[in-house]
Amino acid sequence: MASPSDGTTKTVTIRDVAAAADVSIGTASKALNGRGRMRVETRDRVLAAAERLGFRPNPLAQGLLAGRTYTVGLVTGDSFGRFSIPVMLGAEDALGAGQISVFMCDTRDDPIRERHYVERLLARRVEGIIVTGRRTEPRPGIGRDLPVPVVYAMTQSTDDSDVSIIPDDEGGGALAARHLMATGRTRIGHVTGPQRFEAARRRAQGMTTALASAGLSPAGEILYGQWSEEWGRQGADVLLHESPDVDAIFCGSDQIARGVAETLRERGRRVPEDVALVGFDNWEPMALGCRPPLTTVDMNLGEIGRLAARHLLDAIAGDPAPGGLTIVPASLVLRESTRRATP
C-alpha cells in the first residue's frame, strides 16, 4: 500500500508496478504470476518494484487466471441447520486453510430444488460440492459424470463409487450402554425416535449388543416414537409402567432425553440418584438446559465436515479417494445426569 499526502491509503495496482519497473502491464502480470518467457533481469526488476510498492495481488483475479474460483457448494436438505451447520463449520475449518469459500444451498428435501441448486452451483464454477442432510439413509446421488468432485457428509449415496461419511450411530449406542453399566446400572431402558430411521435402529442395536455382551437385556421394550420432548415424556411413562425398577435410560436424542427428565422429576425419580440418563447428539441448548445437565453422545459432526472437506480438497488437487463409506467414531460427553450410583 502507498500513503498519499492527504493521509488516505491508496491501493497499489499492477499498473503502478509496471510503471515503476518500466515494463508493460502484460509483462508485469507474467512476471508476478511466474508465467511466460522474459529476461531474468526484467522479472527481478518487476518483483523488486512490487515489493517496494507493497503490491498485493488479488487472489480472486489470480484464481480466475488459473481457471479456479476458490469456491465449493454445500447442498443440504436440513432446513433447520441442526446437523448441516456443524458439518459446514467443520468443512469451513478445513477449506479455510486453502482460502476456499462455501456457498450453502437449502433444498428443503425437494429433488427439483436440489437439481436447480446443483445447476446454479456448476454455473458459478464451484470446484466441488459437499452434500449433507439430517438423515443417514442412503440416497440417490446428485448426478453422474459431474464436472466437479462430490462428497456426501452426514448422509450417504447409493452409488458405491461416491465418497460418503456418516457418524457411528451403532458405536454411539454401545458407548452409552457401556458407560451406564460402568456406573453400576443394570436395568437400562431405551426411548428413541421413529423405527423407520436408520439412526434410531442402529443406536438401539448398539445398546442391545453392548448389554448382551455383559449378560444383560434392555429393561422393557425398545420404545420407538418421535424425535421430540413430548414423546420423551410419554415414553418415560410407558417405561416406568413396564419396568418400575429401571435405573437408567438411554435416549435416542437429547430432545427425547429432556422430555424423559421431566417425567422422571414429576414421578419423584431423581436424576441421577435413582435413574441415570444419557442422550444423543450433544445439542448443547438441549443438553445444558436439561435438569441436571445431560450426559450425551456426540456424533462429531465437525470432524465429519472437516473430513469431507479434506477429501474434496484432495479430489480438487487431482488425488481423489476411492469411493465408499467412512464411519466417524462418536464420543461421550460426560455431565451430571450419569454420576456413579452409590451402594
Query: What pLDDT was estimated at residue 2?
Result: 47
**Better-scored residue on pLDDT, 273 or 69:** 273
CATH of domain 14-57: 1.10.260.40
Query: What pLDDT was estimated at residue 78?
Result: 84
Query: 69-167+301-328, what's its fold?
Result: Rossmann fold (3.40.50)
> For residue 273, what are the CA distances in angstroms to 40, 93, 173, 216, 242?
79, 40, 22, 21, 20
- Among the listed ranges 124-138, 172-186, 232-246, 324-338, which one has the minimum average pLDDT value? 124-138
Mean pLDDT (whole number) for 272-290 = 95
**Better-scored residue on pLDDT, 99 or 183:** 183
In this model, does residue 109 exceed pLDDT 90? no
Query: 169-298, what's its fold?
Result: Rossmann fold (3.40.50)
In this model, does residue 296 exceed pLDDT 90? yes
Mean pLDDT (whole number) for 139-167 = 94
Residues 6+ apart with CB under 8 A from 13: 55
Query: What pLDDT was estimated at residue 4?
Result: 47
- Domain(s) labelled CATH 3.40.50.2300 in the chain stretch across 69-167+301-328, 169-298
> Taking a C-beta distance cutoff of 8 angstroms, is the pair 25, 18 a contact?
yes
Task: Please state the length of the chain.
Answer: 343
Mean pLDDT (whole number) for 30-34 = 72
Q: Which three cell numbers stand for residue 12?
A: 497499489
Single out the residue of 200, 46, 89, 126 nearest to residue 118, CA to CA. 126
C-alpha 208/C-alpha 192 separation (Å) is: 13
Tens of pLDDT along 35-88?
A: 667 788 888 898 899 889 888 766 555 554 556 788 999 999 887 778 888 999
- Domain(s) labelled CATH 1.10.260.40 in the chain stretch across 14-57
Tens of pLDDT along 167-209?
A: 999 999 999 999 999 999 999 999 999 999 999 999 999 999 9
Single out the residue of 171, 173, 167 nearest to residue 278, CA to CA. 173
Mean pLDDT (whole number) for 130-145 = 91
Whole-model pTM?
A: 0.79
- Among the listed ranges 75-79, 137-141, 160-164, which one has the minimum average pLDDT value? 75-79
Q: Which three cell numbers stand for residue 178?
A: 457401556
Percentage of residues of the chain with pLDDT beyond 70? 91
Band of residue 97 on the pLDDT scale cut at 50, 70, 90: low
